[in-house]
Amino acid sequence: MKLKPLVQAALALSTLVIAAPAVNAAAQVEVLHYWTSGGEAKSIAELKKMMEAKGVAWKDFAVAGGAGENATTALKARVIAGSAPTAAQIKGPSIQEWGGEGVLANIDAAATEGKWDSLLPSVVTKVMKYQGHYVAVPVNVHRVNWLWVNPEVLAKAGAKAPGNFDEFFAAADKIKKAGLVAIAHGGQPWQDTTVFESVVLGVGGAGFYDKALVKLDQASLTSPTMIKSFETLAKIKTYIDKDAAGRDWNLATAMVINGKAGMQFMGDWAKGEFTAAGKVAGKDFLCLPAPGTEKAFTFNIDSLAMFKVKNPEEQKAQLTLASAVMSPEFQEVFNLNKGSIPVRAGVSRAKFDSCATRSMDDMAAASKAGGLEPSMAHGMAIDSAKAGAIQDVVAKFMNSTMTPQAAVQALAKAAKTK
Ligand code: BGC
């Protein structure tokens, strides 16, 4: 991230500045997040409510932009200015990158008290710790490889719910013939990459996905399977409507909700939109594994990383925030709204719908069978520089006449970004 010299200078400066009487930031947390859609806002509101009930004021630092495309920029500016928020929505390998800048706070006190080591899978605790100390708290597990379907649109078009790509394109043809949009999509680089990674998973399987998009194996990136993945993506493009450019993901989901479109590739934050609209899983909408990915599970774990804060009251409030996030009460209510599933053990599944319980079961099964993979598109698999370069290639492919052969070469080059 190369923020270090700037951050250090800013921190030094801010120490000088607080020689003046400190503003009493008593019992307040400022939280940077990008949960601004209908379902997302309902989810984060639960945390605000919970903190206020504990006597901690909530200062909302919301930066709109799906997948945090604008939030990181805002966060960097604040950290460089020496005024980091109490916590920020940061996940995956990025936590290590921020840890390396020396700006994250040690929250071991909350973790020890809450016995996090025994409640979280070790693959998760590893990501939440920097140099052996907790610096972040996980909120949920999102599954990325979903296809959201409006069953009424399928029925109107005489189409069947698809399980593989042949069935998917057959359904898409029928929806298109019925005069509706087959695939709801928003033309933003992160959404393009979300579709791309599910296509790679469906075309190549979990083993190939892992070699290509997690290990960044050059031979896999330029292989016939990757060419086939781009060919499939090119075909998908032909079913997206002409107004997709720049469309936010939740507006694409709304097209499926309202019956204007039939299907959308998206992680299960999309379910938060269906739920917020009062729609019922299995009746008003279907959640199907993306074509050909039934046995695999691409995970995306949201977390709040904690920043070093100076005021002892704010430090205390920060630990209160971390403990609240890990509480079973919060993990239940947040995830019911967010579309995801709890990340910690010991939360009842009684209130969760069929998409969530399927997610829980599929995650366990994929974990046993070797199909559990980190989402590359959502910052779980590789460092941010490489992920950004790959995203650029996919977006260019989606928005030009670039051939699959040229795309795989560009992809292999992007994977070498330092
Ligand atoms: C985040 C989700 C969020 C989605 C859309 C994903 O990367 O993990 O929490 O709802 O982006 O902004």
220 and 133 assigned to the same domain: no
- CB hemisphere CA count around 408 (13 angstroms): 20
Would you state the structure tokens that stand for residue 326, as one six-digit string?
A: 């890990």
Measured between alpha carbons, how far is residue 313 from residues 24, 25, 203, 205, 318 in Å?
Answer: 8, 7, 52, 50, 9
pLDDT interval class at 166 (50, 70, 90): very high
Residue 119 CA to ligand 1 centre (angstroms): 23
Q: Please work out whether the CB of residue 67 comes within 6 Å of at least one atom of ligand 1.
A: yes
Q: Please report which confidence band the pLDDT of residue 1 belongs to, taking 50, 70 and 90 as the band edges.
A: low
Domain around 229? 143-299+359-414
Which 8-state DSSP code applies to residue 269? H
β-pairing, 181-183 vs 261-265, is parallel
Nearest CA to ligand 1 atom 6: 67
31-75 tens-digit pLDDT = 999 999 999 999 999 999 999 999 999 999 999 999 998 999 999
> 151 with 215, same domain?
yes
Asked whether residue 390 falls in the same domain as residue 312, the answer is: no
Boundary residue ending a domain (334, 351, 368): 351
pLDDT at 17: 45
Q: How many domains does the chain have?
A: 2
Tell me phi and psi for residue 126, to 5 degrees: -55, -40
Do 54 and 161 fall within a single domain?
no
Q: Is the same domain home to 278 and 311?
A: no
Q: Looking at the structure, do residues 374 and 339 belong to the same domain, yes or no?
A: no
Query: Is residue 284 domain-shared with residue 194, that is, in the same domain?
Result: yes
358-372 residue pLDDT tens: 999 999 999 999 999
Say whether both 172 and 123 belong to one domain: no
Domain final residue, candidates 331, 351, 371: 351
Residue 23 in tokens = 């503003």
- What is the reported pTM? 0.94
Query: How wide is the angle at C-alpha 353 spanned by C-alphas 119 and 207, nearest 5°?
Result: 65
Q: What are 10-38's pLDDT values in tens digits?
A: 555 544 444 444 444 469 999 999 999 99
Instruction: Give yes or no: residues 161 and 254 share one domain.
Output: yes
If asked whether residues 315 and 403 sit together in one domain, one would say no
Last residue of a domain, one of 335, 351, 367: 351
How many whole angstroms from 66 Cα to the centroid of ligand 1?
Answer: 6
183 with 235, same domain: the answer is: yes
Are 222 and 371 part of one and the same domain?
yes
Structure tokens at 186: 């928003």
Q: Does ligand 1 have an atom closer than 6 angstroms to the CB of 269? A: yes
334 lines ligand 1 (CB under 6 A): no
418, containing H or E segment: none
CATH number at residue 285: 3.40.190.10
**Distance in angstroms (rounded) separating the CA atoms of residues 158 and 96:** 49
